[in-house]
Amino acid sequence: MWLYLVALGGLWTLLRLIRERQVVSHLQDKHVFIIGCDSGFGNLLARQLDRRGMRVLAACLTEKGAEELRNKTSDRLETVILDVTKTESIVAATQWVKERVGNRGLWGLVNNAGISIPVCPIEWMNKEDFAKILDVNLLGMIEVTLSMLPLVRKARGRVVNVSSVMGRICFFGGGYSISKYGVEAFSDSLRRELSYFGVKVAIVEPGGFKTAINDRHSSIIKMLWDQASSEVKEIYGEKFLQSYLQTITSLVETCSEDLTWVTDCMEHALTSCHPRTRYSAGWDAKLLYLPLSYLPTFLSDAFFYWSSAKPAQAL
């Protein structure tokens, strides 16, 4: 009995590998628009796809980032300046993309732009702190997608949205997890609706990786602590602040520097005939965070409760 089950599992794995290795034809004729290419995942993906011969349209926030990317790639790659929080910038970028793809449409849209600061206890923040992250990570992504959808539908192409393991399970306060939960929900509904038109939507859920998004966490947390009311400071205590800072620092230090874990998932979602619905990137995502997200809530709550710092006036 067990032998049959093992054989069946091995056969299923083999068939899945063969299926996922089938590559889309004529990649050199396909355009991919990538957001957030100044650094990190977007920058590396742009260079990967350029080396593969695809026509990369890279959106950067700054001219400096765009120039540095152009210096590292072929003449095929083109750049545009895009701020996803500004409608006029999105409209201009969409027109720029239309002029380049023509009647072929846009094969791939990669929503990669994101910020994470601030990450801290909710009581230390105000509405603007949440809105700042949501404007980039969620609302900006939605507006760019809506603007580009006619071009993607024309090509029967792909949409790749970068979420996070924190879109599955939340273990820090702030707007980052809220935005990534929103990315998950938006991507699910988008995938089902666009399936009627032959468009495929994939979600990439990275674990911890060292990118520019992790910079300045400690300094921002200290600033918010300084701005907090005397009541909040008394309730949480200086000891909690130091423990919280140490936890953040330790997590950032343990993040992987190998960004290809993520960009390889993105590349597969764009080039495979049969892309996955979800990609988990990183051993921490596969072995810790995603399994935690499937546990009963009281067990995952207990894990975070006993492994995290406690406020001075905690029960």
Tens-digit pLDDT profile for residues 192-228: 999 999 999 999 999 988 876 655 777 888 888 888 8
The tokens describing 301, both together, are 């709550």
pTM of the shown model: 0.90
* Single-letter amino acid, residue 121: P
Query: Exposure string (b/e) for 6-21, b if CB count within 10 Å is 16 or more?
Result: eeeeeeeeeeeeeeee
Span 55-84, average pLDDT: 96
Cβ atoms of 199 and 158 closer than 8 Å: yes
Confidence class for position 17, pLDDT limits 50, 70, 90: confident
Please state, in angstroms and as integers, the Cα–Cα distance from residue 129 to each residue in 11, 162, 169, 225, 279, following that order. 50, 21, 20, 13, 29
**236 among known catalytic residues:** no
CB 214 within 8 A of CB 176: no
Q: Are 276 and 269 in contact (CB under 8 A)?
A: yes
- Which listed residue (4, 176, 236, 305) is catalytic? 176
Tokens standing for residue 225:
């602590």
What's the rounded Cα separation, in Å, for the pair 288 and 248?
17
Q: In 230-306, which ranges are E strands? A: 278-281
pLDDT tens digits, 260-270: 999 999 999 99
User: Which superfamily does CATH assign the domain made up of 25-307 to?
Assistant: NAD(P)-binding Rossmann-like Domain (3.40.50.720)
